[in-house]
Copies of this chain bind each other. A is one copy, B any other.
Amino acid sequence: MKPRIGFIGLGIMGQHMVGHLLDAGYSLTVHDLRPEAVEPFVARGAARGATSADVASRSDVVISMVPDSPDVEQVALGPGGIIEAARAGLVYVDMSSIAPAAAVKVATELEKRGVDCLDAPVSGGEVGAKTATLSIMVGGSEKLLNQVMPILQVMGKTITLCGAKGAGQTVKACNQIQVALNFIGMAEAFVLGAKAGVDPAVILKVLSGGYAQTRVMDVRGPRVIQGDFEPGFRSRFHYKDLNIIMETAKRLHVPLPATGLAHELFAALMAAGRGDLDHSAVITILEDLAHVAARTRGEKL
C-alpha cells in the first residue's frame, strides 16, 4: 500500500510537485499559509491540513517546499509544527533550499523524537517542477532514501545521495555558486564584446562551441541577447541562495571572493527592482555599469 503523503508549501514549485503526486495516485494532505493555494488540490481530492502538525498526524511521509530556512524551522519545529505530531516511523523530507546548518538542526531535533529526516533540495526551476525532471540532491541515510525513492521519482529525474544530513543543501549551495558565476562570466563577456562592437550572437556561437561552453549559456544565452528575462528561475531566489551560501561560508570560515562578488551583483539587481526577472538578468547590472544596455541586445544605438 502506498504511504500517505503530506505536502507543505504550495508555491511556484510545490503546486507542480503536488500535482504529480496526485497524478501518481498518492493520497495527499496539503497545507499552505494561503488558504486559496490549497483549494485546487482539495478539488482534486487532497485533504486539507490545518497546520503542519495536522498534516504530519495524517501522513506517513511529510514533504515541505517553502521559501527559506526560517520557514522550514517554523514548519518543522515551530508552534503547530511537525514536531508536535512527531512519532517513530514518521518520515520528513524537506525539499526547500535552505542553509545546511538549518537542515542539520531540524533533522537533529526531529530525529530525537523518532522522525527520520532527509534534506532533498532540487535544481531545475519551475520548468523542472512542471515536467517532473528536477535534480534532487539528498542528505541523510541511504536506507531512508531508498524507502522514499518511489515518491521522489514522481517529481524528479536525477536523484543523488550526497552524504549525511545537510549534504544535499551543501551540494545545492555549490550548484548555485557555479550557476551564478557562469551567468556573470557570460554577462561580462557579452558586455565587453558589445562595447568593442562585436555582435553578441557571434560571441555566443564561438564560446558555446568551445572550452568556454556552459549549460546556462546554451539554454539562456540566445534569450539574453533578445533581452528576454522571463523566468526560468527568479533572481530573488538566487539572491536568497547566495545569502545562504555567504552565511554558510562565514560559519565555516571559507572565503569565497567571487561568490561574494556575485552576491553583491545580485544585491544590485534586487536594489534595481529586478527580483522577478530570470537570474540571467544579472547582466543588466553590468550593462548599467558600462552604459551599454541596448548594445548587448544587438540593437544599433
Contact = CB atoms under 8 A, between A and B. Distances in A.
Interface of A: 100, 123-125, 135, 137, 158, 160, 162-164, 166-167, 170-171, 173-175, 177-182, 184-186, 188-193, 195-199, 202-203, 205-207, 209-217, 219, 245, 248-249, 252-259, 261-262, 265, 286, 289-290, 292
**Copy count, this protein chain:** 2
Contacts of A166: 196
A262 B258 contact: yes
Counting from the closest, the 8 A-B pairs by CB-CB distance are A181-B185, A174-B189, A178-B212, A213-B215, A178-B185, A170-B196, A255-B289, A254-B290
A206 B171 contact: yes
Given A190-B174, A211-B124, A167 B197 contact: yes
A141 B190 CA distance: 22
A211 to B, nearest CB: 6
B175 A189 contact: yes
Given A171-B202, A191-B254, A290-B254, A210 B158 contact: yes
Contacts of A289: 255, 257
A211 B123 contact: yes
Contacts of A199: 163
Main secondary structure of the interface of A (DSSP, over half): helix
Nearest to A257: B261
Contacts of A245: 192
30 contacts: A123-B210, A125-B211, A158-B206, A160-B206, A163-B198, A170-B193, A170-B198, A171-B207, A173-B192, A174-B189, A174-B198, A175-B210, A178-B182, A178-B186, A181-B181, A184-B258, A188-B256, A188-B257, A188-B258, A191-B254, A192-B252, A192-B256, A195-B253, A210-B215, A212-B215, A213-B214, A213-B215, A214-B214, A256-B286, A258-B265
Contacts of A261: 257-258, 261
B215 A211 contact: yes
Given A202-B171, A253-B290, A212 B248 contact: no
Given A158-B209, A182-B212, A211-B216, A192 B249 contact: yes
